[in-house]
Each structure stands twice: as structure tokens, then as C-alpha cells.
Amino acid sequence: MTRVVVGALVRDGQVLLVHRRPEKHVHPDRWDVPGGVMEAGESELEALERELREELGVQVVVGAASHLCRMSVGHADDRATLSAWLVPEWDGTPANVAPEEHDDLRWFDLAELPPPPHVIVREALLRAVGEPS
């Protein structure tokens, strides 16, 4: 089974989302939290650290990250486990360093988040930062 990890960078009541390119196979043309497929032998935090470095050019402060939720996603013939993390601290300035994956990134107020691909991740994020869902 494929294992996916995503991280919600949060600052000043806002969350950073990336816009998935329209030609992407999974969730095309949607705003989502950044992340990707875990590599063999990686822990979730190792994968989170690598994915956010590769996609945003930031270094996660691992000790500050906290787990939000884990869920099964996808179709019956193509299931994946998705693990979402809250990332309140990082080093560097987030930038789109993976233009083959995303065509934009933007900070959103929690009250104005676009429709999410995964409602459970959104609800866990809103609970974690103290906003009503």
C-alpha cells in the first residue's frame, strides 16, 4: 500500500496550501497541503521533512511538528494511507521549488480555506489550531 505524508504549515492563523497542476493524476487543479509519497525505510517525519524541503525549500523543525490524523484514501484498487501533520515551525521561506507538482502556493485564512480534497484533514487542522470546523 502506498503511504503518503502531508504537512500543514501554519502561521498567524493562516495555512499554506499548494495548487496542484491541472495535469496531475491525483487531485488535479485543487488546493491542498504539500507532501507526497513516503520512500522505503522512511519514517513519517523523515518523509515529511524531505517532501517539504523538496516542494517548498524549507526545513521542518521536527520537534515542533505534531500529528493531525491518518486515514485511508483512494479507490478500492488503488488505496493509500495518508498521514497529515501540523508544522508550526520551519527554517526558510516557503517557495514553489517543485513547479512540476504545483503551479502556485498561497497563505489562506482558516475561515477562507478552499474546498479540501480530504475533509478529515481539514477538520483535524481546524481542531488543532483552535478554530471551529
The whole-number pLDDT of residue 8 equals: 95
Cα–Cα distances in Å, from 101 out to 18, 69, 94? 9, 23, 15
- Closest by Cα among 95, 129, 103 to 16: 95
Domains of the chain, each with CATH number or no CATH: 2-128 (3.90.79.10)
Question: What is residue 61's predicted lDDT score, i.e. its pLDDT?
Answer: 95
Q: What are 26-75's pLDDT values in tens digits?
A: 777 889 999 999 999 999 999 999 999 999 999 999 899 999 999 887 77
Note the pTM of the prediction, 2 decimals. 0.90
Q: Give the span between the Cα atoms of 98 and 115, in whole angstroms.
A: 22
Query: What mean pLDDT is reported for the chain?
Result: 90
Q: What is the DSSP string of 110-127?
A: GGGPPPPS-HHHHHHHHH
* pLDDT of 79 over the 70 cut: yes
Q: Distance between CA 96 and CA 56 in Å, rounded?
A: 5
